[in-house]
Amino acid sequence: MNLIIDVGNTAVKLAVFDGFKLKTQTTESKTRVLSAVKSLIKKFKVNHAIISKVGSLSHHTIHKISEYTNLIILTKDTPVPFKNCYKTPETLGADRIALAAAAVLQYPNTNVLVIDAGTCVTYDFINNQKQYLGGAISPGLTMRYKAMHTFTEKLPLLKPNATNQLTGGTTLESMHTGAFVGILNEIDGFISAYKNIYPNLTVILTGGDAKILGNQLKNSIFANSNFLLEGLNSILEFNITK
């Protein structure tokens, strides 16, 4: 059994895989990670684990986890099932590495664009030669709302609201249109631009805002909320069997 530990900015996602089959997943606060990990290891008889850190996790917690199971900490030097052609590999986030690994595993010999709609929106392109070439990073949906409020004197802080209204009739409606329709047009624009170069492109949409955005995109996409976890598991399996 494999334990996947995805450390985000505010919480930690935990998942257990039997080979490539997801058995369970949960989200915990950073203060409860260690007890949750101990419980999962005991319940599922976990042999191997991998940690991906976008946010921070204490050295004490990581050390304890390494005592309980065979642990890999994902870094730029961790062997992965693709060629990393990023110009600054030391700056490439662990989450983007995991998404590329999932793309290569699930869509071999295919040009894949992975879009992760979370705190930021990341775009990651992997070609049909298993080469990760890079992508783009832009503000996520919630970040756009917070930016309008933070950097102006009078605009309120709104919660994201799905809309296809092109012309907002009030200030609040205009903010929703700018944030929501704006991010939709950005994502559709990236997809269309890539498809002009790679007509047989496969597009994966994942992340916390994938559900609210996916239904209104013009381009065809595959939505997979567990894509990052599956990618981390594929990296772990790659290292176990290599």
**How, if at all, do strands 48-53 and 2-7 pair?**
parallel
* Residue 101 annotated as binding site: no
* Residue 32 annotated as binding site: no
Please choose, from the candidates 111, 115, 116, the residue with its C-alpha nearest in 3D space to the C-alpha of residue 126: 111
Dihedral (Cα; 156, 162, 167, 172), 10-degree rounding: -20
* Residue 111 annotated as binding site: no
* Residue 55 annotated as binding site: no
Distance CA 203, CA 115 (A): 7
Distance CA 220, CA 148 (A): 30
* Residue 9 annotated as binding site: yes
Name the token pair of 214.
């996916």
* Residue 163 annotated as binding site: no
Please give the span between the terminal C-alpha atoms of the chain, in angstroms, as a whole number.
Answer: 17
* Residue 116 annotated as binding site: yes
Distance CA 36, CA 97 (A): 25
* Residue 26 annotated as binding site: no
Q: Is 95 a catalytic residue?
A: yes
Q: Per the residue annotation, which of 18, 77, 95, 124 is the catalytic one?
A: 95
Residues annotated as binding site for ATP?
Answer: 6-13, 119
Known binding residues are 6-13, 86, 93-96, 116, 119, 171
**Per the annotation, where are the binding residues for substrate?**
86, 93-96, 171
Catalytic residues: 95
